[in-house]
A and B are shown apart, each in its own frame.
Chain A
Amino acid sequence: MSDDKNKTHHEDDKDMIKLIDNLNRKDDVHLNRRAFLKASFGATVAIGLATTPFGIFTFLRDENGEVKRVEITDIDDLAVGESRNFNYPTKNEPAILVRTPEDKFVAYNNKCTHLQCPVFYEHKENVLLCPCHKGYFNVDSGQPMAGPPQRELPKILLEIKDGKVFAVGREVRHG
């Protein structure tokens, strides 16, 4: 009886030794609840502070973003149902001016809001078309009608004076 008991204890000890051998001190120190919370806190701070550059650059962009007045064309040079490309507000931002069949002038930045392909005016259907993935935009509002684009085209504000069309501002989100 006593021998049996001793034997069982001996086996238990063996198991315990195995359990201790199995422990990795380095992991035990570095991968625990406290370390996990500290890492999570560090990530929270890092991600929180990562938003600030976007705020700073937005502020700087606002500071530089003076409203420019740019002449696009003479009214007589653009027939009803025609379009003309120009750049606004900078030379790197292409735009399209359209004289609609209702004899109304509208202008948008013509980089497709899906993948930045150029958008063209389709006279027959009276729509703005991005041929890359067949994205359609309403010519009167710039809102997406069909295809992959989800956002409207930035609208260029126009002024017509002395027989000329001027770009005087831009609304990125509108409607």
Chain B
Amino acid sequence: MDKKRTAFFSIFLFLAINVFSLSNAIEGYYGQEDERVYGAVAVALISTILATTAFFIWRKAEYKK
């Protein structure tokens, strides 16, 4: 799979990871499980950074002349 295609599909993977992390953060917060909240926030932030990187890789390839 080329770089552009990988970047394209990885954004959906990171979207799924973030949905899962948000649900974990909410459950952990209301269940007062601090470790679970911190874990979910860390995963979500890393996933967001990777999604941003993937988006810029895709955009560069997509709008290349």
Chain A interface secondary structure, helix, strand, loop or mixed?
helix
Report if A48-B47 is in contact (Cβ < 8 Å); known contacts: A57-B29, A62-B34. yes
* Residues of chain A having any CB pair with chain B under 8 Å: 34, 37, 40-41, 43-45, 47-52, 54-55, 57-58, 62, 151, 154, 172-173
A40 to B51, CA, bound (A): 10
Residue of A at shortest CB range from B37?
A: A58
Report if A48-B34 is in contact (Cβ < 8 Å); known contacts: A54-B26, A58-B29. no
Tell whether, in the assembled complex, residue B11 and residue A47 are in contact, meaning their CB atoms are under 8 Å apart: no
Tell whether, in the assembled complex, residue B11 and residue A37 are in contact, meaning their CB atoms are under 8 Å apart: yes
Chain B interface category by residue count: 20 to 34
Which residues on the A side are within 8 Å of B14 (C-beta)?
Answer: 44, 48
Tell whether, in the assembled complex, residue A44 and residue B32 are in contact, meaning their CB atoms are under 8 Å apart: no
Residue of B at shortest CB range from A172?
A: B32
Which residues on the A side are within 8 Å of B44 (C-beta)?
Answer: 47-49, 51-52
Tell whether, in the assembled complex, residue B15 and residue A43 are in contact, meaning their CB atoms are under 8 Å apart: yes
A133 to B45, CA, bound (A): 39
> Most chain-B CB neighbours within 10 Å: which of A34, A55, A62?
A55
